[in-house]
């Protein structure tokens, strides 16, 4: 019983309740870092780490947080984890840290994390909260990766900085610029919503 519930908690954010294309949360970083696959991987690792651990921490403290200041406490906890990500990145990958710029710090205001903490971790035990946070992070990760692959492939003819398409390929430079991000995300949301609606009308 408990195990199947945990499984459900894990699977929901990956599909039916995906934070990016169903709940439309965390769009800022979704668009900003997806012009290169490499940046995206680092960013999603940071977000997954922060979401999972802050959900777990808040869940541990859930009976001791006064409800009037809970937003403040949640922000503090999230910010503490983001600072860890920032310091680690700065120490080991200074180049990457420079490229991501302010977006590492902006993980704090990423609505996915706050959303999971508010909606799930405050009312659930630590382990399910950890699983839920981690799964939300994964749901975010694979959507971002698919956007990044499309954008980098079309925009610079490469993936992970390695050239895939030959010299015949003319780069669609609009893809790595802001409008490309908006369009690719819009198309993904459109396709997924259209398929979900079809499934629902069949059922």
Partner 1 sequence: MHNFAIFFASIFTGNILLTNYLGMCSFLSVSKELKTSLGLGAAVVFVMATTTPLNWMVYEWVLIPFGLEYLRFIVFIIVIAAFVQLTEMALERYSEGLYQALGIFLPLITVNCAILGASLFMVIREYTLSTSFFFGLGSGIGWALAIVAMAGIRQKLKNAKIPPGLEGPGLTLVIAGFMAMAFMGFSGMIALT
Cα–Cα distance between 24 and 18 in angstroms, integer? 8
Q: Does 32 bind partner 1 (CB under 8 A)?
A: yes
Cα–Cα distance between 129 and 164 in angstroms, integer? 40
Smallest gap, in angstroms, from Cβ of residue 16 to partner 1?
16
Cα–Cα distance between 198 and 203 in angstroms, integer? 9
Residue among 12 and 86 whose Cβ is closer to partner 1: 86
Out of 75, 99, 146, 158, which residue is the one contacting partner 1 (CB under 8 A)? Answer: 75
Closest among 192, 117, 122, 136 to 9, alpha carbons compared: 136
Q: Does 105 bind partner 1 (CB under 8 A)?
A: yes
* Count of beta carbons in the 10 Å neighbourhood of residue 184: 21
Out of 93, 101, 160, 163, which residue is the one contacting partner 1 (CB under 8 A)? Answer: 101
Closest among 38, 6, 58, 27 to 140, alpha carbons compared: 27
Q: Does 119 bind partner 1 (CB under 8 A)?
A: no
Which residues inside 142-171 make contact with partner 1, applying CB under 8 A? none
Q: Where along the sequence are the contacts to partner 1 (CB under 8 A)? A: 24-29, 31-32, 72, 75-76, 79-80, 82-83, 86-87, 101-102, 105-106, 108-111, 114, 174, 177-183, 185-186, 189-194, 197
């Amino acid at each position: 019983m408990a195990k199947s519930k945990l499984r459900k908690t894990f699977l929901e954010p990956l599909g039916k309740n995906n934070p990016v294309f169903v709940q439309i949360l965390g769009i800022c970083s979704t668009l900003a870092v997806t012009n290169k696959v490499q940046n995206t991987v680092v960013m999603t690792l940071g977000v997954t780490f922060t979401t999972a651990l802050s959900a777990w921490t808040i869940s541990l403290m859930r009976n001791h947080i006064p409800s009037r200041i809970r937003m403040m406490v949640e922000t503090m906890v999230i910010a503490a984890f983001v600072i860890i990500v920032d310091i680690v990145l700065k120490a080991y990958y200074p180049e990457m840290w420079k490229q991501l710029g302010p977006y590492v710090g902006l993980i704090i205001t990423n609505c996915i994390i706050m959303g999971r903490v508010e909606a799930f971790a405050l009312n659930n035990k630590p382990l399910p909260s950890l699983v839920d946070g981690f799964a939300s992070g994964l749901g975010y990760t694979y959507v971002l990766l698919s956007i990044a692959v499309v954008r980098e492939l079309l925009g610079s003819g490469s993936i992970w900085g390695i050239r895939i398409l030959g010299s015949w390929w003319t780069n669609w430079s609009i893809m790595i610029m802001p409008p490309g991000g908006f369009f690719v995300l819009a198309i993904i949301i459109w396709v997924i919503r259209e398929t979900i609606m079809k499934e629902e009308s069949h059922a």
